Amino acid sequence: MATIHDVAKHAGVSATTAKRAIRQPKLLAPQTLERVRRAIEELHYEPDQLASALRSGQNNTIGLVVGSIVEPFFAQLTRTIGRATREKGYTLIIADSEYDAELELQQLKRFYGNRVGGLIIRSGYGESNLEYLLRMQQRGTAIVEVDHFYPGSSFSHVMLDNEKGVIAGVEYLVNLGHKRIAALGTYDPIILSDERSQAFPKAMQAAGLSVPQAYQRVIRPTQEEAYQLTHYLMSLDKAPTAIFALTGNEAIGAFRALRELGLKIPQDISLLSFDNYPWTSLVEPPIDVIEQPTEDMGLATVEIVLAAIEKQAKNEPVEIIRKRFPGRLIKRGSCAAPRS
């Protein structure tokens, strides 16, 4: 494998000049820069990123931990973050935690070993990894949480305004005349410690309604568990007249269950969901959704983490930034007044 010294010798320049051609090309004369680049191409030289990280303590790599790589929300978020970091000369490494803090810790240890310069993390459910994240921060990794954050976290974060989104959804269904509304997932400090499930009973109470005990089931935010919960809810003597899926992934499971049961939307049951996934506008009827500004959230996250990396490189204090983005209710026809 060619080294930077091989490149320098082949180009007829010093090793310092060869390194500068890679890191600070604007400082070199065009003819010199061209010689070095030609030598790099002919020798198939690739910089040793790990060696560079060991020397500097970190590298131009950003780690990204998402909840579920197969979910369209995280796919779009990843694409946005990938493009934005690439434009700034950073490499993005992606990991999937499946919402599990224990699995997340394994991924964090790998990122720690790779000395990533920045970390963007959708924190998981379960025992908090805040202690390990603080250890990463102390070694120089800039950290930003996105979509969900650990209680008591001292890091910057970028979030949807989940509480307002839930309130808007509940008010929409209540104004249509619904009183028996079921959210797919009840708050649990370990299994489902998200803001939406926490906000739902409060929004119902504000509307003068309560959530029946029979509707309160703790699930993980997966298609399969939402599918099973929907089957259970619709088997009750007093089944809900409206289902509120707290994620687009849950909505897929709910839609599949309702179709299997032969229930018509919205004649027999109204369905409202977070996340404007492509399929929601293609089915009949199209699904009413609360859309997240995913691209704006991704760009904001990158802006914050890169600014923190720059501050840390200069040994300057890093500002804690917390941004909230509003959701947008899109009405398409999957929600209607309940049958009398």
φ/ψ of residue 186, rounded to 5 = -105, 140
Question: Beta strand pairing status for 242-245 and 142-146?
Answer: unpaired
- CA-nearest of 274, 105, 103, 127 to 191 is 127
Within-domain flag for 333: no
Confidence at residue 26, expressed as pLDDT on a 0 to 100 scale: 83
Copy the structure tokens of residue 314.
Answer: 């200069």
* Shared-domain flag, residues 231 and 273: yes
Q: Distance from first CA to last CA of the chain, Å, rounded?
A: 76
CATH number at residue 144: 3.40.50.2300
* Shared-domain flag, residues 84 and 135: yes
Domain count, the chain: 3
Structural domain boundaries, residue 276: 162-292
* Shared-domain flag, residues 76 and 129: yes
φ/ψ of residue 269, rounded to 5 = -155, 135
DSSP 8-state secondary structure symbol assigned to residue 100: B
d(CA 73, CA 94): 15
Copy the structure tokens of residue 221.
Answer: 């935010």
Count of other CB atoms within 10 angstroms of residue 281: 12
Q: Residue-wise pLDDT tens for the chain (340 aa)? A: 788 888 889 889 998 998 888 877 888 899 999 999 998 888 888 766 555 544 444 578 999 999 999 999 999 999 999 999 999 889 999 999 999 999 999 999 999 988 899 999 999 999 999 999 999 999 999 999 999 999 999 999 999 999 999 999 999 999 999 999 999 999 999 999 999 999 999 999 999 999 999 999 999 999 999 999 999 999 999 999 999 999 999 999 999 999 999 999 999 999 999 999 999 999 999 999 999 999 999 999 999 999 999 998 888 999 999 999 999 999 999 999 998 7
- CA-nearest of 107, 125, 97 to 190 is 125
Within-domain flag for 86: yes
Residue pair 53/42 in contact (Cβ under 8 Å)? The answer is no
d(CA 82, CA 208): 44
* Shared-domain flag, residues 210 and 125: no
